[in-house]
Amino acid sequence: MYPRDLRYTKEHEWIRVEGTRGLVGITYFAQEQLGDVVFVELPKVGTVVEQGKPFGVVESVKTASDLYAPVSGSVVAVNEKLTDQPELVNTDPYGEGWMIEIEMADPSQVNSLLTAEQYEALISK
């Protein structure tokens, strides 16, 4: 259910690390709780994000929720597909539904995030 190659935040974001960059999205659990996603507000390329601070908003038919940066760094890519197809967050949260890519300021911050096992324990409570 939760890919083992990712790290997770307590706020339900995931990050897939490749070198000094990290691809970020929200978890299956998060999109399930939100319901049908109708809008995603993301930062522009070049925006500096800070670990644990909001970087955007995801809106569903039920609610709007802030998105929190799993690590600090600069946004180097934004998933433009989500502008016209926000439902990708629901249908493919770990693939086509990714949100931003960050050039990490300090890759060691990833070590403070949850493993898949720790995340599963968190959401099973």
Asked if residues 3 and 117 have their Cβ atoms less than 8 Å apart, the reply is: no
- pLDDT over threshold 90, residue 1: no
Tell me which residue of 63, 66, 47 sits closest to 9, measured CA to CA. 66
Q: How does the average pLDDT of the chain come out, rounded?
A: 97
Burial class (CB in 10 A: 0-12, 13-18, 19+), 22: buried
pLDDT tens figures, 45-76: 999 999 999 999 999 999 999 999 999 999 99
- The pLDDT of 7-24, averaged and rounded, is 98
pTM: 0.96
- Tell me the C-alpha distance between 66 and 51, whole Å: 13
Q: What residues form DSSP beta bridges with 78? A: 100
- Which letter, b or e, does each residue of 11-20 get, where b requires 16 or more Cβ atoms within 10 Å of its Cβ? bbbbbbbeee
**What is the percentage of the chain residues whose pLDDT exceeds 90?**
98
Residue with tokens 């802030």: 66
Tell me which residue of 82, 90, 83 sits closest to 30, measured CA to CA. 90
Binned at pLDDT 50, 70 and 90, residue 125 comes out as confident
